[in-house]
Structure 1
Amino acid sequence: MSSNKRKLPASQAEELLGILKTRFEKNMKRHKGVEWAQVQARLEGSAEKMWSLNEMEMTGGEPDVIGYDKKTGEYIFCDCAAESPKGRRSVCYDEDALESRKEHKPQNSAIEMARGMGIELLTEEQYRELQELGNFDMKTSSWVRTPAAIRELGGALFCDRRYDHVFLYHNGAESYYAARGFRGLLSV
């Protein structure tokens, strides 16, 4: 998609900023020491990142600031919906997995969908860090970035939270389930 299409109309950008600000203020424990005015200034200077955040919001991700990278000066947004975003479920892991299915193909793959949204799948480490901020995926699960060595053998990794613990599992990359989606990360 060309970058000129990755820009929200002014009214939609303003509406999204309002949603993000309200979420930010309701969940201060996720971003201690971060001030909304600085986040907003950064967002207003990045039309393409605003577009990506809107994609996260529209697919049910409920993105929120979960950190600040002192090295890059970027704010880190992550999907903070209680369960894996509804608009990103029932997807296999990547394009190769999607192509390998002969029948009953899902409509998309997590990797391709994330790429199209301009976001990245969480790593296992990032997923575990997110779980320190709350209880996520108590009923669903989320694909996480899979090491190449595992993916080359046909597998892919996903995580969830059960019994007050975060679990990492494996599955064939071509598998997909109504309760499995993916969470995204975006640095702004």
Structure 2
Amino acid sequence: MSLPTIDIDQARRLIEQGAVLVDIREADEHARERLPGARHNPLSRLAPVDAAGASAVIFHCRTGSRTAANGKRLAATVACEAYLLEGGIEAWKKAGLPIAIDRREPIEIMRQVQIVAGSLVLAGLALGLWVAPAFLAVSAFVGAGLAFAGISGWCGMARLLALMPWNRRPRRPAAAS
């Protein structure tokens, strides 16, 4: 059984009636930006949701894609009514609702990968066009690495970025969300 999707207004009404919000994004995403009061239950370590006393559970991710793709898995973690938040945290922000942001936390690793990979491809292209064609190999190497990451699920650049000092700070417990 998959879970029904609800919009922001329906979610707000359910929350007012005692529903629990559950964020299924990874720890780095949740640490940087989250819905106030949302519990954290990352998809990679999905555990049963303790919804004792809650009228329902509302799962969310960033855009709604991860929750939609994993509706059956999420349904198996609850013993009460459960829903998926349409549009995720992005729709919540678009509706002008409050978001808890901790700017001391680094941006999530995958965004860092996108920034570094995109910068390397552009630098390789520019250097290849204006300095020496051999620099085009940088763009080819990064492109091959991204293709490999997409196929295998293992990203060397993400592993390398995770070792950087800004990503190795001891994690502070998230403020009471």
From the two aligned structures, give the one with the greater helix fraction: 2
Larger Rg: 2
Same fold (TM over 0.5): no
Structure with a larger share of its residues in strand: 1
